[in-house]
């Protein structure tokens, strides 16, 4: 679904300068317009070279296609690339990019790289590096289900730059609700021995993989040299965004509830750029492969692009090839959504053309350990089935012959004696092996349940265990052990307490922004703890998993974007503005991002516009306030101007009021706009600045619709 947005402005280019650069190129040979690997292999390169990402000055065809046909521009850009590379005697590139940006991935000596960096035709020379998937830290709450929708997203395509997908099964199966093929999408399915042509369907419409940056010789032997998912991350992310609805999730005979993606009628295109290595510490995503995936997705014409890799945090977008490529995707009117990152560090992808997504807590599945004559112990329990009453067995006291005391204490598979465990509930300590491996060990020893106890302060995690399990904290674990010492024959019952729905709060591990950048990041939030998602088939046959992290939060926002595109004829900028402006404030905070609400966003009456040329100006250092979400003011930026547009189908008067900042003025405070009409409004500080103060500008239209809120933060 390609859109001609209301707010799209005419491309402003120095056309003669562009053509002067390109026409001077060497002889013309026709090539595809998207990223493609060259015949040269990194493995054949000289030992004194390394892979570099070289970006030429100026945009790719995603922004210049109105000047000349894309095919012509692509050929000229390739000629310009050849001319630049020939100036330093460089070999044939590993990749060429002409859509999201004009550039190459090429092996160079350090001296060649320095010479190219000094070439005025070159915007950036950057050594290739390995990025990581925006992984899934342990959550603080449990799942209530997928949080998806019965319908939504028909006619749209979401592209996923990730670890691939697992196409088989009902989550990505064809369905009548998908409707006709999406107009404007030109992607294809690349086949492989483990990815036949039949793996692509009306639901999975694109499958590509990019490995030449990472190196095929560095990939683990059992990895799939195709778009097939090797780790389950990409499958989970794609299912949360666009998995089919009306499915029942069962694991180990336990019914976990109904499943649906946020936009179940959207199509899926996989762009695998993340790989597993023999040593898990070497797993990752080459920046060259990620840029190639972005370039191809942009050329294919996806509507939403989901990127869940980490490694751009704290980097200036002007000095980051990945973020430059995402700018090219945004210039193609693609909604670019990226995970903000987990744990410590700056927010990833803090650029005004990317919707960065942080994570909130979600619903909680609660459980109890019930003891006779002693207080009940609360914890996290996914299984709806109870266990017991049964005797409580300490794993450390039930070791099998040949197992160490430590292995039994941690309930390592094979370490428990069935004669001591059979029919009992086992107390296992966290650590050493995966949490779900511990419950598998209990089941193998004929146990009926498990209490998983932390040894140190830490999270309580919703996991899909092999037997009913309650996960408790370290204090509760010590209490249980002391209780059992007094009552060696003590019996316990594990009982589910159902689902609690507390008010959402920002997850403690979700990254927050640095106001010094002039942007409040992340832009929006999505539920990111204990979300039900599809998985690649496991060794025990399971096809479901519980995922947490900003990657799953971003997936939910990507699905919301696809739903909105299917409902409204909005540009990417207008859509991003609608999501941010109608987001729900979280935890009583007004100083930043809110939780995306697709239904409220669909009724947003007022949007914020940003011209393509403004993004380029921001990249070049003219970093005025361009975000569609929260904004920053302070001593060095006392005023800012936003262009607003009427997103509705009728003339309306929009009136603003400021809440929480009496020193903030707005001119004009009331505007009357016809459908699609735009005007500028200016916000300015009228008094002293107290860093950290926050406020909100609320816009209401005379014809109703959602209230649009702009969060305002005062920086030093």
Start-to-end CA span in the chain (Å): 43
Degrees to nearest 5, angle at CA 17 with 80 and 126? 45
pLDDT at 592: 66
pLDDT at 673: 96
Instruction: Report in angstroms the alpha-carbon separations of 237 from 246, 261, 548, 581, 710.
Output: 18, 10, 10, 25, 29
Instruction: Report in angstroms the alpha-carbon separations of 222 from 15, 225, 540.
Output: 50, 9, 18
Which CATH architecture does the domain made up of 15-128 adopt? Answer: 2-Layer Sandwich (3.30)
Instruction: Report in angstroms the alpha-carbon separations of 702 from 346, 601, 608, 646.
Output: 40, 17, 18, 12
- Domain 364-500 falls in which CATH fold? Glucose Oxidase; domain 1 (3.50.30)
Token pair of 82 as six digits = 């050849």
Distance CA 302, CA 160 (A): 10
- The answer to whether 337 touches 557, Cβ cutoff 8 Å, is yes
What is the homologous superfamily of the domain 133-361+505-598 according to CATH?
Answer: Peptidase S8/S53 domain (3.40.50.200)
Residue in the structure block whose two tokens are 């009926």 = 448
Three-state DSSP string of 464-522: CCCCCEEEECHHHHHHHHHHHHHCCCCEEEEEEEEEECCCCCECCCECCCCHHHCCCCC
Distance CA 673, CA 177 (A): 36
Closest CA relative to residue 524, chosen from 687, 678, 358: 358
pLDDT at 233: 94
In DSSP terms, which residues pair with 680 in a beta bridge?
A: 643
CA 703 to chain centre: 35
In DSSP terms, which residues pair with 645 in a beta bridge?
A: 607, 678
Residue in the structure block whose two tokens are 């020893």 = 445
Cβ count within 10 A of residue 670:
11
Instruction: Report in angstroms the alpha-carbon separations of 384 from 250, 288, 466.
Output: 11, 45, 13
Query: Which burial class, exposed, middle or buried, applies to 571 when counting CB atoms under 10 A from its CB (0-12, 13-18, 19+)?
Result: buried
CATH class assigned to 599-714? mainly beta
Residues of the chain whose pLDDT is less than 50? 2-34, 36-45, 137-145, 588, 590
pLDDT in tens, 138-147: 333 333 345 5
Query: Which burial class, exposed, middle or buried, applies to 10 when counting CB atoms under 10 A from its CB (0-12, 13-18, 19+)?
Result: exposed
Instruction: Report in angstroms the alpha-carbon separations of 554 from 354, 528, 608.
Output: 11, 8, 21
pLDDT at 130: 95
Q: What is the DSSP letter of 459?
A: -
Query: Which burial class, exposed, middle or buried, applies to 343 when counting CB atoms under 10 A from its CB (0-12, 13-18, 19+)?
Result: middle
In DSSP terms, which residues pair with 267 in a beta bridge?
A: 157
φ/ψ of residue 418, rounded to 5: -60, -30
Rounded to 10 degrees, the C-alpha dihedral 563/565/566/568 comes to: 120
Distance CA 78, CA 475 (A): 64
Distance CA 291, CA 266 (A): 24
Instruction: Report in angstroms the alpha-carbon separations of 241 from 149, 219, 254, 262, 458.
Output: 10, 28, 24, 5, 29
pLDDT in tens, 274-296: 999 999 889 999 999 999 999 99
Token pair of 663 as six digits = 């020193």
Residues of the chain with CATH 3.40.50.200: 133-361+505-598
Residues of the chain with CATH 3.50.30.30: 364-500
Residues of the chain with CATH 3.30.70.80: 15-128
pTM summary value: 0.85
pLDDT in tens, 629-686: 677 787 777 888 889 999 999 999 999 999 888 888 889 999 999 999 999 999 988 8
Token pair of 359 as six digits = 């994570």
- The answer to whether 380 touches 364, Cβ cutoff 8 Å, is yes
φ/ψ of residue 291, rounded to 5: -60, -40
pLDDT at 516: 54
């Amino acid at each position: 679904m390609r859109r001609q947005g209301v707010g799209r402005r005419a491309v402003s280019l120095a056309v003669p300068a562009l053509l002067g650069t390109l026409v001077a190129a060497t002889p013309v040979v026709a090539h595809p317009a998207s990223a493609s690997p060259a015949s040269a292999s990194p493995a054949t390169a000289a030992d004194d070279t390394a892979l570099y990402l070289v970006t030429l000055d100026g945009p790719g065809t995603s922004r210049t296609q109105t000047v000349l046909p894309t095919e012509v521009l692509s050929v000229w850009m390739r000629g310009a690339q050849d001319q630049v590379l020939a100036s330093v005697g460089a070999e044939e590139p590993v990749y060429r990019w002409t859509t999201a940006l004009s550039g190459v991935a090429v092996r160079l000596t350090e001296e060649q790289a320095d010479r190219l960096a000094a070439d005025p035709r070159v915007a950036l020379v950057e050594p290739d590096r390995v990025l990581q998937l925006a992984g899934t830290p342990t959550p603080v709450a449990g799942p209530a289900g997928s949080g998806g929708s019965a319908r939504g997203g028909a006619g749209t395509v979401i592209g996923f730059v990730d670890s691939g997908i697992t196409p088989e099964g009902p989550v990505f199966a064809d369905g009548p609700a998908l409707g006709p093929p999406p107009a404007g999408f030109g992607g294809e399915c690349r086949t492989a021995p483990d990815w036949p042509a039949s793996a692509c369907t009306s639901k999975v419409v694109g499958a590509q993989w990019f490995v030449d940056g990472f190196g095929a010789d560095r990939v683990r032997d059992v990895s799939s040299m195709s778009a097939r998912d090797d780790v389950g991350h990409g499958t989970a992310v794609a299912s949360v965004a666009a998995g089919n609805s009306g499915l029942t999730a069962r694991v180990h005979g336990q019914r976990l509830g109904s499943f649906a993606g946020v936009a179940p009628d959207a199509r899926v295109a996989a762009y695998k750029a993340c790989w597993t290595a023999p040593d898990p510490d070497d797993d990752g995503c080459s920046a060259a492969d990620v840029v190639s995936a972005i370039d191809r997705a942009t050329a294919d014409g996806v509507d939403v692009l989901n990127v869940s890799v980490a490694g751009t945090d704290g980097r200036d977008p002007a000095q980051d090839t990945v973020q430059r490529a995402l700018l090219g995707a945004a210039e193609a009117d693609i909604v670019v959504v990226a995970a903000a990152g987990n744990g410590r560090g700056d927010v990833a992808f803090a650029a005004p053309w990317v919707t960065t997504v942080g994570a909130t807590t979600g619903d909680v599945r609660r459980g109890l350990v019930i003891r006779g004559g002693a207080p009940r112990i609360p914890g996290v329990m996914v299984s709806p089935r109870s266990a017991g009453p049964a005797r409580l067995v300490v794993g450390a006291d039930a070791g099998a012959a040949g197992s160490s005391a430590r292995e039994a204490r941690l309930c390592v598979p094979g370490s428990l004696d069935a004669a001591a465990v059979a029919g009992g509930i086992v107390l296992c300590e966290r650590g050493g092996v995966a949490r779900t491996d511990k419950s598998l060990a209990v089941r193998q020893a004929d146990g009926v349940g498990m209490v998983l106890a932390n040894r140190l302060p830490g999270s309580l995690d919703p996991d899909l265990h092999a037997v009913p399990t309650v996960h408790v904290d370290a204090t509760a674990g010590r209490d249980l052990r002391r209780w059992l010492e007094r009552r060696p024959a003590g019996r316990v019952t594990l009982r589910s307490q159902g689902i609690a729905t507390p008010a959402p709060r920002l997850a403690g591990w979700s990254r927050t922004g640095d106001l010094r950048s002039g942007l409040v990041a992340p832009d929006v939030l999505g539920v990111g703890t204990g979300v039900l998602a599809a998985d690649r088939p496991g060794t025990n046959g399971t096809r479901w998993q519980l995922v947490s992290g900003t990657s799953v939060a971003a997936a939910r926002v990507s699905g919301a974007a696809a739903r909105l595109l299917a409902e409204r004829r909005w540009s990417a900028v207008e859509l991003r503005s609608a999501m941010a402006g109608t987001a729900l404030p979280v935890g009583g905070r007004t100083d930043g991002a809110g939780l995306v609400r697709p239904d409220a966003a669909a009724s947003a009456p007022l949007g914020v516009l940003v011209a393509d040329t403004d993004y380029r100006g921001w990249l070049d250092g003219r970093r005025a306030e361009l975000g569609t979400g929260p904004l920053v003011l302070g001593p060095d930026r006392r005023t800012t101007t936003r262009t607003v547009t009427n997103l509705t189908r009728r003339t309306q008067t929009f009136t603003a009021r400021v809440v929480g900042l009496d020193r903030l003025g707005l001119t004009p405070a009331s505007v009357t706009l016809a459908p699609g009409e735009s005007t500028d409004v200016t916000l300015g500080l009228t008094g002293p600045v107290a860093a950290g103060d926050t406020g909100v500008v609320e816009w209401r239209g005379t014809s109703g619709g959602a209230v649009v809120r702009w969060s305002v933060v005062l920086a030093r």
